[in-house]
Amino acid sequence: MAIFTGSAVALVTPFKEDGSVDYGQLKFLVEYHVAHKTDAIVICGTTGEASTMTEEEHMEVIQKCCEYVNKRIPVIAGTGSNCTETAVKLSQAAQKVGADALLVVTPYYNKATQNGLIRHYSTIAQAVDIPIIMYNVPGRTGCNIQPATAVAIAKQNENVVAIKEASGDISQVAKLAQLADGCIDIYSGNDNQIVPLLSLGGKGVISVTANIIPEDTHDMVIKYLEGDVAGSLALQLKSIDLCDAMFCEVNPIPVKKAVELAGLCNGYVRMPMTEAEPASVEKIKKAMMEYGITLVC
């Protein structure tokens, strides 16, 4: 059974002006997404700025999110690291505090060979009892999980059940779908490629844009899976300019500004992220207004 079908939001982490986590706003965001059709919450992923958190802070944010969600929808905890030992430690801690599944990014900076990726994911998988989603985003990590490698990992470890595919290479995803033959659930990691991934057998999306359009992101997936391909495609095409705006600077800078403009939470980011440039803010505002999102500031 899939961890989720539909749209998982790659949730932003709200910070106070002093840089501390704003748990009141985090609770509000959880309630907002549960009420607006979000099918799962990914906490402490790239969009959640986990790379700027201490391990203790990382675990506290995951624990609080699990408490706030209270099993109403799955909570998927980002626990990846470029150190396998650290990834194991984070993964075990996330399981202990109640995460339903894990999102584990490929090692970044030091990277890994394909054999190294098999060993890395297998070591993590053998240390926990909950499902794992591999996260392939070579544009950020410099490390690409080849289709045959992903299949080998899944076949060797029964709790590695899915992949978030953000390579942007549709041909690679097609090869993965062919080789996997159903043994790996595929989720789009790119908001502008949801429908193409669904056409290759995908189960849904782990979405940045869902932070501000959760219902439409959910509907885009469900319409496709229920046979309304035209309706799904219409939502995909409607969202293209908004998707572009959400990546006009390095993620999560634009989406942090967008949630602020929508009145959902503060838009503070932690260094080395910086506030969106004025030209980017105008682009974000324009895309949001054209989509039909009301700006409150």
Measure the CA angle with vertex 115, ends 114 and 116; round to 5°: 90
Supply the residues annotated as catalytic. 135, 164
Distance from C-alpha of 103 to C-alpha of 259, rounded to nearest angstrom: 23
Reduced to 3 states, what is the DSSP secondary structure of residue 94? helix
Helix axes 84-96 and 114-125, enclosed angle (nearest 10) = 30
DSSP 183: S
Strands 6-10 and 132-136: unpaired
Helix or strand holding residue 197 (H, E): helix 194-199
Distance from C-alpha of 3 to C-alpha of 133, rounded to nearest angstrom: 9
For the chain, the distance separating the N- and C-terminal CA atoms, rounded to the nearest angstrom, is 42
